[in-house]
Chain A
Amino acid sequence: MSRAALLVLADGRFPAGGHAHSGGAEAAVRAGRITGAAELEDFCRGRLHTAGLVAASVAAAAALGCEPAGLDAAADARTPSPALRLAARRLGRQLVRAARATWPSPGLDALARDFPKGAHQPVVLGLTARAAGLGPEDAAYCAAYESVSGPATAVVRLLGLDPFEAAGVLARLAPEVDEVVGRAVAAARDAAVEGVDVLPAASAPLLEVCAEAHAAWSVRLFAS
Chain B
Amino acid sequence: MTDTATTAGVRATARIGARGDGRGGTCLPVLRGEGPLAPRRTRGSGDEAHVLLVGAMGGPLGGDRFAVEAHVAEGARLRVGSAAATIALPGQAKGAAARYDVRLTVADGGELHWLPEQLISARGSDLYVTTRAELAPAARLVLREEQVLGRVGEEPGRLTSRLAVRIAGRTVLDQELSCGPGAPGGWDGPAVLGGHRAVGQLVLVRPEFAKAPVVARVLGEGAAVVPLAGPAALVTAVAPDARLLRALLDRGLAELG
Contact = CB atoms under 8 A, between A and B. Distances in A.
A201 B223 contact: no
B172 interface: yes
Given A45-B189, A80-B226, A202 B171 contact: no
B8 interface: no
Contacts of B193: 205-206
A85 B229 contact: yes
Contacts of A209: 218, 222-224, 236-238
Given A78-B175, A213-B218, A204 B192 contact: yes
Contacts of B176: 200-203
A205 B238 contact: yes
A66 B138 CA distance: 30
A64 interface: no
A206 B174 contact: no
Interface string B217-257: 11001111011110000101110000000000000000000
A90 interface: no
Nearest to A204: B192
B1 interface: no
A206 B238 contact: yes
Nearest to B225: A212
Interface in B154-193: 162, 164, 170-178, 184-187, 189-193
Given A28-B190, A205-B238, A212-B216, A46 B171 contact: no
Interface residues of A, number: 42
Nearest to B229: A76
B238 A83 contact: no
Contacts of A44: 186, 191
Given A81-B224, A82-B227, A201 B191 contact: no
A197 B175 CA distance: 11
B184 A202 contact: yes
Interface residues of B, number: 37
Interface in B197-230: 199, 216-218, 221-224, 226-229
A39 B162 contact: no
Given A42-B186, A200-B176, A208 B192 contact: no
B174 A77 contact: yes
B236 A46 contact: no
A155 to B, nearest CB: 11
B194 interface: yes
Contacts of B194: 33, 206
B226 A207 contact: no
A21 B170 CA distance: 30
Contacts of A85: 229
A42 B189 contact: yes
A213 B223 CA distance: 9
B152 to A, nearest CB: 21
Interface in B102-133: none
Contact of B187 (A34, A46, A74, A197): A46
A50 interface: yes
Contacts of B187: 46, 49
Q: Which 6 pairs between the two chains have the least Cβ-Cβ distance?
A: A46-B186, A42-B189, A45-B186, A46-B191, A33-B190, A49-B184
Given A82-B226, A209-B237, 14 more contacts: A46-B185, A50-B191, A77-B228, A77-B229, A78-B174, A80-B173, A197-B174, A205-B177, A205-B238, A206-B190, A206-B194, A209-B223, A212-B226, A216-B218
Interface of B: 162, 164, 170-178, 184-187, 189-194, 199, 216-218, 221-224, 226-229, 234, 236-238
